[in-house]
Structure 1
């Protein structure tokens, strides 16, 4: 079998991506061969092409943080009944390929009534949103939260999960996305003027909020921290503010982590967390169980119509460069999806 792959050869513009065709061997012990039905563009790929993702592999490599696909072959030790069934998996790299191999233990079943594109949209984004809301912040019903970048893939999912859990959501986005946020149940605030944005949020929640979910990082973390009421939680899960800066890719993350750690020692009853999707990976079995449980919950909500995946656009694999360019334009709401 052959596979078509999109390769990031180095720090290049999307137009510099390469297409590679190579032979795919039979799956090894514990592995499956997956035919890609949908993959996507996450913020990680936007950082990776700049060499700015915290622990990305050395160039060249095949990007693709998550994937939904159909099993076409199984290796020794894997149940043959998996062939022909559809699964989602979070893999960090390798998803931008027509076929790929991965461990069967990483597969999470996708309900029949959920399309491949819909499942892909909530794979890494849904797990991230679910874990930040229910495992990191643990906001109770009736609470108020702030979601920065609420029109994005993680943000739009987080808004819906929070509304389903009975929370009030203040979401930031450019004005063109405000109607979408209202439809999802959030109170929109324009983020183009940060000083005005934080002032408006304080007017909407004068007693403070129960949680802020901040993917921006950088100096504005101080402003997000200040929005919290006593007992509130700041969840930082990215450093978008430094995406285009040159230098060490790990430094912005380490700076944010250090700042958040110190804030937890302040006597104000507030908490600060740096969310990492891959936290606990060294305990691989428990990590996989937790990921599968959380993604299964999100996919169940999609199947029930509680969560509507926000698909910004779909591109064929051969046009992955255009898909990334659109995602980086910051003009879309939801996630850009790549299909065969």
Structure 2
């Protein structure tokens, strides 16, 4: 059983021991030390299963740590203890954090500087869907592509964790959205405010072009692969292609470093073509090393914007399912089934 006792904590963690199938995930308990200077001990209330973990278990996520490790890209939780140089009133408050790894645990140690405040009264699982997915969507739309209100965008995978949030924040900015998804998700995508197109149709890109014959202001593509050029050709002059994944290679063998570098280089070169369009590979970690204070400030500001949209009911979190932490295998299997709308969330065991 997990809990806080004196200066130590027993945490329950889900471990990826090596390249595995979902059934190979291991649940273990271990002692955590007391928070060091600048650290906070967070009791997890919600964490998520994202595409990153699906790649990590295959050893194919760009710059993932060596095995074994605890996955979990983001987390919502309550501070239960703090180390030196952290304000005592931090204890008892709820925060969100982007961890990249470590979130699949009942308790975890996090640098206080990386915490983002979460107002009371919000469902932690709903907030969880807006951390990595929401901040990614917000920054791509408003900071990278800089689409103006009233513009038209294409969201590939509009039923996914990032895609479903992206559709909603674009609609909140009075944008027209065309979203690709399997036919079974079309009603749900339409309810979010997007015009759905079945990505499985051979003429899917022709259908999109018919909906926006003069081109679109931005395309958000997490797939890349052989259709990347088609995404590029959907843009009007001045449009922007924002790629934030390489899902087309998820089942390939070997590491993902060189495929990612090749994709990034290709997109960079496209910026020099004489057509006044832009392209880039989005990384939510850009700027952390060079300007860490500004990097963290942007995250806090963007999550605050998203949580305000949540409070105003302009964004409805898409929770595909909730599983207890110990059922991480089942959660991973469902997330990888490609049958869900939104994000699979892990919560503490009873």
TM-score, normalised on structure 2? 0.96
1:142 maps to 150
Residue 73 of structure 2 is aligned to residue 26 of structure 1? no
Residue 232 of structure 2 is aligned to residue 225 of structure 1? yes
**Equivalent residues in 2 for 1:266-305 (5 A)?**
266-282=273-289, 283-305=291-313
Shift of residue 296, structure 1, vs aligned partner: 1.2
- The C-alpha deviation readout for 1:245-293, integer Å capped at 9, x for no partner, is 0123112211111111111001111111110011111022221111111
2:241 maps to 234
Runs of 4+ in 1 over 2 A off after TM superposition: none
Secondary structure of 1:280's aligned partner: coil
Question: How many residue pairs end up in the alignment?
Answer: 339
Residue 24 of structure 2 is aligned to residue 16 of structure 1? yes
Residue 218 of structure 2 is aligned to residue 211 of structure 1? yes
Whether the aligned pair in 2 keeps the contact of 1:218 and 1:252 (CA below 8 Å) is: no
Residue 123 of structure 2 is aligned to residue 106 of structure 1? no
Aligned mates of 1:151, 1:314 — CA distance in 2: 17
Equivalent residue for 1:156, pick from 152, 160, 164: 164
Aligned mates of 2:218, 2:98 — CA distance in 1: 26
Aligned-pair Cα RMSD in Å: 0.8
1:309 maps to 317
1:244 maps to 251
Aligned mates of 1:248, 1:89 — CA distance in 2: 27
- The C-alpha deviation readout for 1:70-91, integer Å capped at 9, x for no partner, is 0000000101111111110001
Secondary structure of 1:87's aligned partner: strand
2:4 maps to none
Shift of residue 157, structure 1, vs aligned partner: 0.3
1:324 maps to 332
Secondary structure of 2:14's aligned partner: strand
Aligned mates of 2:184, 2:244 — CA distance in 1: 24
Whether the aligned pair in 2 keeps the contact of 1:111 and 1:300 (CA below 8 Å) is: no
**Equivalent residues in 2 for 1:70-219 (5 A)?**
70-193=78-201, 195-219=202-226
Whether the aligned pair in 1 keeps the contact of 2:61 and 2:255 (CA below 8 Å) is: no
Equivalent residue for 1:334, pick from 322, 330, 342: 342
In structure 1, the gaps of 5 or more residues are none
Secondary structure of 1:100's aligned partner: strand
Shift of residue 305, structure 1, vs aligned partner: 1.0
Whether the aligned pair in 1 keeps the contact of 2:239 and 2:277 (CA below 8 Å) is: yes
Aligned mates of 1:111, 1:177 — CA distance in 2: 32
Shift of residue 187, structure 1, vs aligned partner: 0.1
Whether the aligned pair in 2 keeps the contact of 1:113 and 1:303 (CA below 8 Å) is: no
Residue 281 of structure 2 is aligned to residue 259 of structure 1? no
Aligned mates of 2:13, 2:255 — CA distance in 1: 28
Secondary structure of 2:329's aligned partner: helix
